[in-house]
Amino acid sequence: MKHPPIPSDVLATPQGTFDSKEQIAQWRETMGEFPSGVTIVTTMENGRPLGSTVSAFSSLSLRPRLLLVCLDLRSNTLAAINKTGTFAVNILSDGAQALALKFGAKEGEKFSDVDYEIGDLGCPLLTDCCANIECRLTTSYMEGDHAILIGQPGTIVREPMRSPLIYHRGAFNA
């Protein structure tokens, strides 16, 4: 039996369900109602630093200490983390909008003119952040168009007097 073509305003999800462009836009707007902090997840692969802007970040457990981040399945940073087994979460300070946009871009030399140090696990730790948390990857799940990475923190660097960068309703707010 031949199925009719899928209309151009309907998009297939990885699970095989279908969402219209309107449903996707409504979902994005709804999720934008929840303010989130902004991080840059970094790793090092073959001496080359890699990083991506991530707002899907959370503490997961106190005992044992675990956190989670979500990265797009097409991310070069994700591929490198899966190879190296290490990553850092750099919690951005207010005023770091340009850095968030730079690391959110698909192309370009993200680390040009960016100050960072190498952590104990070999990951780039960006300077001028609220905090840097270097982790060992414990588990990775693929769900939808993202991977959910579970990390066990190692090195933690904090600057408690800094305020975080917040993303809400499609804009950065301090």
Task: Provide the domain limits for residue 65.
Answer: 17-173
Judge whether 29 lies within some domain: yes
CATH code: domain of residue 150: 2.30.110.10
Instruction: Give the rounded percent of residues in the chain with a pLDDT score beyond 70.
Output: 89
The pLDDT tens digits of the residues spanning 54-67 come to 999 999 999 999 99
Residue 8 lies in a domain: no
Q: Measure the CA–CA gap between 84 and 44, rounded to whole angstroms.
A: 8
List the structure tokens of 1.
């039996």
Q: Is residue 116 part of a domain?
A: yes
In whole angstroms, give the CA distance from residue 67 to residue 77.
17
> Between β-strands 39-45 and 36-37, what pairing exists: parallel, antiparallel or unpaired?
unpaired
44 belongs to a structural domain:
yes
3 is a domain residue: no
46 part of a folded domain: yes
Full-model pTM: 0.85
Which range (26-30, 45-49, 167-171) has the least confidence?
A: 26-30
User: Residue 76, SS3?
Assistant: helix
Residue 120 CA to its chain's centroid (Å): 21
Number of domains into which the chain is organized: 1
- Residue 1 included in any domain: no
